[in-house]
Chains A and B, each alone.
Chain A
């Protein structure tokens, strides 16, 4: 019987669009699914496509008129080999934190912590921040102040009982509940932080939340990112998630980001994302 990774890798390969990968099988290539697949499959053509898709400012993403979504830059940096393209991507991340917004009683937050947004000049959110954090921890660890701020950002945006909503902790005094997928992605960004104190507790509460969430939120993207988080945290929960993911692979996977995460979570590519020091 073929492993989950073999099945996911085969499905990814079938769904490629030339050298790269689109948001759905055969669709026009985009940086996010291509970066995930490049890491998961150790795929040289996908890496070449990525290098060619880098913008002049070092970023990766989608442009829609005045909107330049650059949130794929962290993943692209992780997919690129050492070299000037990767360094320019990291420089872009460091130079484009989210906009700092004054705290507001309606949506309270620490206004000194920016994080990263989906597009430059907007508010910071959990998923783009977690990606940027992971890229910096692995590839630019000397950016200690920025890394510490990113961890503090995720602590500030943590849901009341642990885990993460998409980025707000409260709206109009209502505590926003954590979501499985955003919690998993945040844990991917935070894994391997072993300093006694707040950061460790943050991860521990996130793990508890994810253990409650993934059995309920059984979409493939949630399951795959949860499995990746558990594996990076060296937790046996990953095996339980894998069993459920295996069962979900009966039909086609329309979301190539989800498929990329499945291949990543179940294969050797995940080691590329492991922060060991």
Chain B
């Protein structure tokens, strides 16, 4: 690993040893990388993290060889009850290490990945608790295992081949297709894309209220993110209105070159029987097909999600959640768990969808 420049080699003191000037330059370098490297997932980009974690709320571990960045791992650090917790920022379903592909044969590539991951781990700051859900294209956590992290598999749901929309439509359950058609025809539903994030928030709050679920992000956080995405043309707000112009359901979609994501949804429970949520979902998928090859429902392990997304023909797709609670804190583990909520949702709480 000599070729790989790491500013500090011992885990734990890396945060301090790195020092502010280097840390600042690492982040600046990462900003440049994000601007030039389309393979970095949208949730890992500097501007996304600025909006969701705050400009000072995130940092990044970098691994370079010959002055070129070959690995990067952004992370968001929060203080909770006097402890340092590395976790996902609000509105951010996944992060994880990015490793520049070296195009070698399998065994060499894996060995390379593992070396880079090891160097990234060594650069993580000292923390009391670490929890990150990784984006779905990452499937190897071995170096984290060797460094005392734990892993568990969760699932999201993905429509894989958006280029063939007829096949996507035919992959829906018959009942779901009927819902979509019924909505469009009987209630003269139409989709608007000229409404604001605040119009969308009204619908989202209705959903939360009807389920008794608290909002997992502040309005300002979503507004900041919305401005950042809008500026880069990386989001679409679609709101379905009925024949009277009343808003029934909305989807908030973001995308990068690899995938579109159903980041947030909302609907007016009173308009649920119009088929508007299904129609809106279909419209979001149709739009996403013009932007990305895949559509990710950003599902979680909630049992009610699976039948809903299944009806859209989405495929169960594994994601890894990586955790570590260093020993100093293990004595307080149970207390921490209950303090953070026993289930410690790895991704922001999306309300349960209604069939």
State yes or no: do A and B come from one complex. Answer: no
List A residues at the B interface (Cβ < 8 Å): none
Interface residues in chain B, defined as those with a beta carbon under 8 Å from any beta carbon in chain A: none
